[in-house]
Chains A and B, each alone.
Chain A
């Protein structure tokens, strides 16, 4: 990826976010947009883990759950300002990823997938069963961020949808910028090297275990921040956010859009967030269509939508 390419990708993302609202017929589209950005943020984290470092995780919804419940619990129990809770969630997720990543990243392939899966399910079980703390399966209320009120005092009246569209859009651009910077950094190169071949990477002096762990922790922090944003904009959270299906959904989004590409990840998140909204008329067939889309993409565009299409546009020789 060249310097130009990086800024091009960021510019496309930022302009799309800024221009799209001009075509929104109603406030509902802001809500869908905000959901896409939140999902895309978590998926960008998975691009670093899966696309850069070549590791898999089926438990990242666990980190999203930690981020989400940090926003629900910290203001109530620790008296932390809601705006600082996502930071606490990110720190907790990061430390936890560091602790569990060390042993489980020694595993490869299916074994790693199963171990991460187990982690996700554990978090979801704790959130469901610790009723006294988390409200159990019924969930709990999340304190308002209060930023909208501040903006209103400054004379800038935004609806909830508009505010969260803007806020999550900005966080997504920041997240994408960091991920794109990482790609060409020494760390990013090391991650990509071990993706290609762990033995070769170790031979040229890459600390394989360390780089894997780094990718795992970074992606955990992305998922956690995404979970926090979701909790804050919904104002209510249930253990579903940490559920197994949410983990699978994230990986599916990453694979659909193109697991090595930040822009592709955003596209994947957008498609899978939009589909259920478009398919409400055929609600019974929604899962069927989702499955068919996945299978077709896997067969005909194995690299994911965006990279495959980009390659086709550039011509096959490249």
Chain B
């Protein structure tokens, strides 16, 4: 008798599952390797969000089946995994590409096979020229430069010294900043670089200090380099402002530099960083604080800006799937492109056939590190 009941129960339970289709979502991020500081929080975010969405009933009753690969930051592996996602796992959409290199490898496959893809990497070349199936959530380096330069203009600064890391992020931002500087009336008088492993940047900073007329210093880079630059900057006793990039917009940076040396540093960041200081009527208040709370509860730490890129990518994709006529790559792509005013942690996204990034420099918030934390200054 008990057996029969159990079988009947099993049958009852199994039926809805069998009848229920699942939505296959693919992801390839650099959870290990040199870009793990990007990919690890991204992977955590994607896993967490998909689980939460499934628990809340999925998308119109359909569960999301996530296939997540770790490409270790290697573009060659990323391409193989992208091929695997499309050909073998038969996903309807892909999220990932923590670095520009891995993104460029994945987007080739996505374009070839017609699968919508949201990238988590910064380079402007990902969405310029616009590719039919490729979108991205992070600001470009160029926008960060524009944001920083407009703050400089407002402060009456027009001649600056730059110091940049030679890694991918630093080198790319250095080139973009020098490219847009002229348009905003900024003159780059000194242009120094440092290696990503360098333990001291005093000589480069000294050269900048000895350059006549420099009114501010801009440091393009992420990782430990900017922390060392900031400390050296304080040790050398500069009396001009220091601007950092969005690459170091995290509490970990302040901890690394120390409270004293980091004071007064200005940088463009996202709302995610100042979640608890946002006004309650701020459009991003709800989404930023919900996400931060969920992430903190699950992983015991604050989400980084990069994790926020992954959050927005998943949220945008799920939103597009809900609006799409059917769960098929082309329908999802069309819905994604029609996204209007979607509020994420990074900014408010509005995609169009000509714009697959959907943000502008105003989505950045200019922040200053003060004695009691981050302060928005624009």
On A, residues with C-beta under 8 Å from B are: 25-29, 31-32, 35, 128-129, 131, 136-139, 141, 160-161, 230, 234-238, 240-241, 276-277, 280, 283-284
Residue of B nearest to A31 (CB): B83
Residues of chain B with a CB closer than 8 A to A138's CB: 99-101, 104, 123, 168, 171-172
Classify the interface of chain A: helix, strand, loop or mixed: helix
Interface residues in chain B, defined as those with a beta carbon under 8 Å from any beta carbon in chain A: 31-32, 69-70, 73-77, 79-81, 83-84, 86-88, 99-101, 104-105, 108, 112, 123, 166-168, 171-172, 175
Q: Tell me whether A26 and B87 are in contact (CB under 8 A).
A: yes
Report which of B69, B83, B100, B166 forms a contact with A280, defined as CB distance below 8 A: B69
**From B100, which residue of chain A is reached at the shortest CB distance?**
A138
Q: Are A235 and B168 CB-contacts (below 8 A) given A27-B83, A32-B80?
A: no
C-alpha spacing A277/B104, complex, angstroms: 20
Contact residue among A27, A35, A136, A139 (Cβ-Cβ distance under 8 Å from B87):
A27
- Count contacts between A and B, CB distance < 8 Å: 83
Residues of A within 8 A of B74 (CB): 240
Q: Which residues of chain A have C-beta atoms less than 8 A from B76's C-beta?
A: 35, 230, 234, 240-241
A136 in contact with B171 given A31-B83, A129-B166 (CB within 8 Å): yes
Q: Is A277 touching B80 in the complex (CB atoms < 8 A)? A: yes
CA distance A36 to B32 in the complex (A): 23
| Least distance between A31 CB and chain B CB atoms (Å) | 4
Q: Min CB distance, A205 to chain B, in Å?
A: 45
Contact A234 B32 (CB under 8 A): no
Q: Nearest 10 pairs between A and B by C-beta?
A: A137-B168, A28-B87, A27-B87, A28-B88, A238-B101, A31-B83, A138-B100, A283-B70, A26-B87, A236-B104
Which one of B84, B99, B175 has the highest number of Cβ atoms from chain A below 10 Å of its Cβ? Answer: B84
A240 touches B87 (CB 8 A): no
CA gap between A128 and B170 in the complex, in Å? 12
* Residues on A with beta carbons closer than 8 Å to the beta carbon of B86: 27-28
Residue of B nearest to A25 (CB): B88
Q: How far is the CA of A238 from the CA of B77 in the complex (A)?
A: 12
Q: Which residue of B lies closest to A235 (CB)?
A: B108
Contact A137 B32, CB 8 Å, known A26-B88, A35-B80, A277-B80: no
Query: Across the interface, do A236 and B77 meet the contact criterion of CB distance under 8 Å?
Result: no
Question: Would you give the shortest CB distance from B106 to chain A, in whole angstroms?
Answer: 10
Smallest distance from the beta carbon of B141 to chain A beta carbons, Å? 11
Contact partners of B75 in chain A: CB under 8 A: 139, 234, 236-238, 240
14 contacts between A and B (CB under 8 A): A25-B88, A26-B88, A31-B87, A136-B168, A136-B172, A137-B171, A139-B75, A139-B104, A161-B83, A234-B76, A236-B101, A277-B80, A280-B70, A283-B69
Cα distance, A25 to B87, chains bound together (Å): 9
The residues of A that contact B100 with a CB separation of less than 8 Å are 138-139
Give bound CA distance, A51 to B32, whole Å: 34
